[in-house]
Amino acid sequence: MRPYVFQNGTAVLTGAASGIGRALARGLAVRGSHLALIDRDEVGLNAVAAELRERYPALKIGVHPFDLSRTAQIPALADAVLREHPRVTLLINNAGVALGGTFEQLTLDEFEWVMDINFRAVVALTKAFLPALRSTLDAQLVNVSSLFGLIGPAGQSAYSSSKFAVRGFSEVLRHELTPQGVGVTTVFPGGVRTNIARNARVGQGVSQVETQAGQREFERLLRLDPAQAAEIILHGTGRRQARVLVGNDARLLDWIARLLPGSYGRVLEVLRGAR
């Protein structure tokens, strides 16, 4: 496929109010893309949109506050976006949530909440926007998985399950859609400095001591600047890469998981003890 052209395209972006999403919105605007921005944080979303409208007055930038856990209402969200932006050339499913705790410490409702936002919303958004993408020559779909979509560490059963699901879903779509002219990129960010650790929920059965220790451990992993992560993602998108590994930790652990698929847990313990 030819490289994806950002200029004068329209990107639908979820999780746009902060972190990687905000950095992606800025990077897309720099490249000349019109934007439909989605996030449950209406205040943050409006702040990002106001900044970009001031810097790039020629771009059409729409704001759509929405909680992606309401998956049944995603078709109505897509209709609202398409009324404002009839020509969508890029969908970036970036939004995600985290939940700490062993599987035994989580309730099924907590587990399903993560699956709804991290996986089922990705499926529903892709379904809703696919006709628009297919009607445009050389469109692109980008699904953000995670480092934990490459490995499954203890204490991340819900998050890893959702991100492995995104990975599998995206690989199938790549095989199905590329012959139809829609490229598919799966992104695997490592530790990026966002608020995901502070905003993460913890399972009902997790003690306060475990919560604080887990949060400190998670935050130590978050090193890469979101702007750098966004540039890596957009570079891979433009080249229509099948997989984009973001950060040295993602590249290292992807290699370890491939080399030691049944025993990389021991390596994770060694790496954790070395920090």
**With DSSP H G I counted as helix, E B as strand and the rest as coil, what are the percentages for the chain, rounded to 5?**
55, 15, 30
Residue 70 — φ and ψ, nearest 5°?
Answer: -85, 65
CA atoms within 13 A on the CB side of 2: 5
By CB neighbour count within 10 A (0-12 exposed, 13-18 middle, 19+ buried), where does 21 fall?
buried
Our CA dihedral for 56, 142, 264, 226, rounded to 10 degrees, sits at 10
Q: Does the active-site annotation cover 159?
A: yes
Task: Please check whether residue 126 is in contact with residue 91, taking contact to mean a CB–CB distance below 8 angstroms.
Answer: yes
Task: Please check whether residue 96 is in contact with residue 51, taking contact to mean a CB–CB distance below 8 angstroms.
Answer: no
Distances, alpha carbon 194 to alpha carbons 19, 121, 204, 208, 236, in Å: 5, 21, 24, 22, 21
Q: What is the DSSP letter of 86?
A: S
Selecting among 4, 56, 159, 264, the annotated active-site residue is 159
Structure tokens at 34: 């019109």
Give the distance between the most distant pair of CA atoms in the chain.
53
Residue ranges in the chain assigned as alpha helix (H)? 19-30, 42-55, 74-84, 108-115, 121-134, 157-177, 196-199, 208-220, 226-238, 248-259, 264-274
**Residues with catalytic annotation?**
159
